[in-house]
Chain A
Amino acid sequence: MFKSMYNWIDERLDVTPMWRDIADHEVPEHVNPAHHFSAFVYCFGGLTFFITVIQILSGMFLTMYYVPDIINAYYSVDYLQHQVAFGVIVRGMHHWGASLVIVMMFLHTLRVFFTGSYKAPREMNWVVGMLIFFVMLGLGFTGYLLPWDNKAYFATKVGMEIAGSVPWIGSYIKELLAGGTIVGAQTLTRFFAIHVFFLPGVLLTLLAAHFFMIRKQGISGPL
């Protein structure tokens, strides 16, 4: 059944080469933790991606209950965490996952750095990877405001002041981020939009580029 369906699609779209390219490519021994235990450092990239997927999924589910509004945001978070079944776990996944993704990405970056894997011809992939790092930090910063508790509010204010200290354009950046002159209702909706639509869009594009380049250039050789 599935086989004939697959064949029907394959005849028309020739999908086999696409997934076989991913599935069948050879992975060398020096990155394989089964051969050399120390090669587990090569897992951090994959784990970063895994946690990122968890972040995207849990984030999607959280927006089923969350409202980006200064009066209701806090109470909707309180409700989804304490009243909805498994709310503690889903919000916990998103909260702790945010930290874990930074940890994993940090370790991945250090691995690439100390094995010199960013060297020619992989310079572009390093740059894209660093951009992913910055986007992740941006996601962390914007996501922090959303529960609208004191911690969120004051940490965002501090962030705004930092942005405001940029010479010449600082006050414009600050006002643009805050959506006005105070951290308030318009800041929250703005941060929500950035956190949920803009940055994830950028992130997915960068991830696609990152993976495409890995596949195209292959893994860097053993030291």
Chain B
Amino acid sequence: MTAHTAARHPAARDIEARDIAAPGVRIRDLTVVYKTPSGELPAVRGVDLTLAPGTITGVVGESGSGKSTLALSLLNAVQPPGRIAAGTVEIDGLGDVLTLRGEDLRRARGSQVGYVFQAAQNSLNPLKTIGKQLLDLGRSHDVADLRALVRDAKDLLARMGMDGARVLDSYQHELSGGMRQRVGIMLALALNAKVVVLDEPTTALDMITQATILRIIREVHEERGLTTLVITHDVGAVAEVADSLAVMYGGRVVEHGPVTEVLGDAHHPYTQGLIRAIPRLTGDLSLARALPGRPPTLGTLPTQGCVFRERCERRLEVCETDEPMAVNRDGRTVACHATDRHLTLVKRKEFV
């Protein structure tokens, strides 16, 4: 089992890293609400999302779509005034994370589920060297062989193209954004966590560093046999790194499927709009069209009907009253009345 592997001998860990299958993650009916002056409002509502073992799932969405809240839910770490109101997050070998409390939850964080912050945010203690923070991490999780932990961390840093000994001896302010991000990845993986959540891993990095970080994520993911969730607003980054893609809007997953299919043949009008909004490197810039309107905030989110209808060009009457159900067809999930009807029509035509 993967439980507390960190405490065992490092050699044993390496073998396990290769042999143990990556865990699957199943998010079911997850609802997260935030307390506001006008009552508790849902930032994530009724989300079902399955992360297949050993895959990278990308979650894209505009600011306020609930993607970061979803990411924090995987560690049962939604910060007040937020609260997980309903749902389950099952991780193989760990159970429902949302029922974990106290010490069990603390031990699961870091050792089983790793979390990588955005590079621009200061996720490291400015007053301690990276190495000392690594030791704090090891001591917190009762790692018996701290030397091995440091050795592994150096190897991992070297694997990501850095001088491990020197980085461990540095303070946060002595590292560049790309270096900090790699340190963040190292700290998330140091205890051999098998599920890794990356929140905006390439935001605020320059293009070259972005490409490097994406390549590292992909390679480390494969070498260590991880199940990875990448949260981003950058469709391009997700296209490069992810196996499957979930599109969030107004706290719902509106479309989910293999990344090539979702980007190549988007069904949901929001996904289509999102793809149209990406400027191409070659060709006319005016071809890129921004989505009309603004993304909803917690306060402006419609309480009934489809959350996207205000900005949707294929709006139907039923969108005003009924929330579209997520329909799964051939490994793709879409929550849209128009698409649903369209597909039904196509199918009907085929039968006629």
A, B bound: no
B binding-site residues for A, Cβ under 8 Å: none
Report A's interface with B, CB cutoff 8 A: none
